[in-house]
């Protein structure tokens, strides 16, 4: 059996960037350093809950390594993997629009970087492995409910085709962790857990912001040069060549483009991140830090899953494209000292707008099965649909999946037959009546005409639409049901969901219950409607 210590570890981040000279693991302001070395905290009785077989394969590990005691100990921080250099990163960030100063990895400890044969450099990080110098007033730990949510969603998003960090394992620590889930003065002990998550790196916008905010331009440059040479070498004429101002600008433009791609995918599947602070934005354009996220079940652009954001709704579904742009502006401000010119940085930021404005309409056209998208005629069709969706409580996933089954081939079709594939998508049957039903029928007849004009037969259209409109997503109530079972020591539903979500676009009739819309009991239940940042 291949063990973790036998992998090819190459800890370039700690080797090439300045570290914290103070080795004490105590909360403090850390200056002049990109990270602090810190060891995970041993736990009482670690046990594995689940492991991603795909991630095991990516890293070159055996599928049954979860049965290995040492692997479980290493995935919970109870044993340090030989050849690794555990550390926590220093970064800052804008939280809910305001500069928050130093933040850093308060409950995440990076083990190191593995060089894989097919997927390049992959960084392994334990979330919930104990305090670090960046833990502020917290304990650095995580609980089972948030850990299962991150584990499942990381893998679900990957199989949906959404750029994301990945999850290797989720494990119980055997310890109890005190949490005030809704910040209402009623803390309770919960089961502690650790997630091992994986990404090319966990560098965020905030890593650059902290150096810029402190006027530490030398280390800002070192970080930018390291990031480009290690993760964006294609931007350089030669690996050892100098990183010029033009390269910094090109790098910002690339981050802007990949961020736009990520946001388009979020909007495609109805994902709401919930806490798009700049310290939660990856420079790789990956979805990172699965906290109070949620799935847009009934289509509501104003919905946010985050209780902390309930009044302001800064991070609501409909605002995500704008917030990503705002966050990129903060990154541009941070790297300005390396360029010292506004115009090229603005041009780089414009790459986000250009990319998003190109890809969002095309994404919507793909969801509708429209071939040869024509902005002049098709934009009004898209806008008309989005206006309809908010007039009644409509399940986004079921609606678009049902739309693929609408008959566009018959010469004539009765209204009842036309709307039949969509009826299941409405949460309140009485809302789909009167004017709303008539307007929906009118839109569907326009849609039929557009599909007919495109010349695509229904079977081909259905296949195309079903390849971008998922059948299965990690609905909020499904995650909560898995958590409920796990709290009782039953991890069967966690692993069953992991398996179902590996094929989110397939019909899977044996798992039809996981495609059902949110039950009424989940409408306001904690964990199914909104969540806090508590984990």
> Residue 235's closest CA among 217, 219, 253?
253
What is the helix, strand, coil percentage profile of the chain, to 5? 45, 15, 40
Helix axes 342-368, 458-466, angle to 10 degrees: 130
Give the list of residues 6+ apart from residue 285 with CB closer than 8 angstroms, or none: 163, 255, 257, 258, 259, 261, 262
Give the per-residue SS3 of 114-178. EEECCCEEEEEEEECECCCCCCCCCCCEEEHHHHHHHHHHHHHHHHHCCCECEEEEEEEEEEEEE
Neighbour count for residue 82 (Cβ, 10 Å): 11
CB atoms within 10 A of CB 413: 17
Is the distance from CB of 403 to CB of 351 less than 8 angstroms?
no
Instruction: Residue 286: name the closest of 154, 118, 195 by CA.
Output: 154
How big is the chain, counted in residues? 535
Distances from the Cα of 58 to the Cαs of 53, 63, 84, 197, 413, in angstroms? 9, 11, 18, 13, 50
CA angle 184, 103, 35 (to 5 degrees): 140
| Pairwise CA distance, residues 76 & 170, whole Å | 9
Which one from 105, 279, 298, 378 is the annotated catalytic residue?
279
**143 Cβ contact list (under 8 Å, min separation 6):** 128, 177, 179, 190, 191, 192, 193, 535
**Catalytic residue flag (residue 279):** yes
Four-CA torsion 472, 474, 475, 477, nearest 10 degrees? 130
Residues marked active site are found at 279
């Amino acid at each position: 059996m291949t063990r973790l210590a036998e992998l090819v570890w190459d800890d370039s981040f700690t080797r090439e960037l300045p570290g914290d000279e103070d080795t004490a693991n105590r909360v403090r302001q850390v200056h002049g350093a990109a990270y602090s070395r810190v060891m995970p905290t041993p736990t009482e009785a670690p046990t594995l809950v689940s492991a991603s077989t795909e991630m095991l394969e990516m890293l070159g590990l055996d599928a049954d390594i979860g049965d290995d005691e040492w692997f479980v100990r290493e995935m919970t921080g109870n044993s340090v993997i030989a050849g690794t250099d555990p550390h926590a990163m220093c970064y800052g960030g804008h939280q809910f629009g305001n500069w928050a100063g130093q933040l850093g990895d308060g409950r995440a400890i990076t083990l190191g970087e593995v060089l894989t044969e097919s997927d390049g450099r992959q960084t392994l990080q334990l979330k919930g492995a104990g305090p670090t110098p960046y833990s502020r007033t917290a304990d650095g730990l995580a609980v089972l409910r948030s850990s299962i949510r991150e584990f499942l969603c990381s893998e679900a998003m990957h199989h949906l085709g959404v750029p994301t960090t990945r999850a290797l394992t989720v494990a119980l620590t055997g310890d109890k962790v005190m949490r005030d889930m809704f910040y209402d003065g009623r803390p309770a002990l919960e089961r502690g857990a650790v997630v091992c998550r994986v990404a090319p790196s966990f560098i965020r916008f905030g890593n650059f912001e902290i150096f810029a905010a402190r006027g530490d331009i030398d280390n800002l440059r070192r970080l930018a040069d390291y990031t480009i040479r290690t993760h964006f070498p294609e931007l350089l004429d030669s690996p050892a060549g100098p990183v010029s101002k033009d390269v910094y600008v090109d790098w910002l433009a690339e981050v802007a483009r990949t961020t736009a791609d990520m946001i388009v995918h979020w909007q495609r599947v109805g994902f709401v991140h919930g806490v798009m602070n700049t310290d939660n934005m990856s420079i790789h354009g990956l979805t990172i830090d699965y906290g109070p996220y949620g799935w847009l079940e009934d289509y509501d652009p104003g919905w946010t899953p985050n209780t902390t954001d309930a009044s302001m709704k800064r991070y609501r579904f409909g605002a995500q494209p704008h917030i990503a742009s705002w966050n990129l502006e903060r990154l541009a401000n941070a790297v300005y000292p390396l360029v010292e010119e506004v115009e090229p940085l603005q041009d780089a930021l414009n790459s986000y707008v250009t990319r998003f404005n190109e890809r969002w309409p095309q994404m919507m056209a793909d969801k509708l099965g429209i071939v040869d998208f024509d902005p002049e005629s098709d934009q009004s069709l898209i806008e008309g649909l989005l206006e309809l969706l908010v007039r009644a409580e409509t399940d986004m996933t079921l609606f678009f999946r049902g739309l693929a089954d609408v008959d566009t081939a018959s010469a004539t079709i009765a209204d009842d037959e036309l709307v039949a594939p969509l009826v299941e998508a409405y949460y309140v049957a009485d809302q789909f009546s009167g004017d709303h039903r008539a307007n929906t029928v009118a839109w569907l007849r326009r849609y039929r005409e557009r599909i007919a004009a495109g010349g695509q037969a229904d079977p081909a259209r259905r296949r195309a639409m079903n390849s971008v409109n998922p059948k299965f997503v990690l609905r909020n109530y499904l995650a909560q049901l898995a958590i409920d079972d796990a709290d009782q020591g039953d991890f069967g539903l966690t692993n069953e969901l992991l398996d179902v979500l590996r094929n989110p676009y397939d019909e899977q009739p044996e798992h039809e219950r996981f495609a059902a819309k949110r039950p009424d009991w989940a409408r306001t239940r904690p964990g199914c409607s909104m969540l806090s940042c508590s984990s």
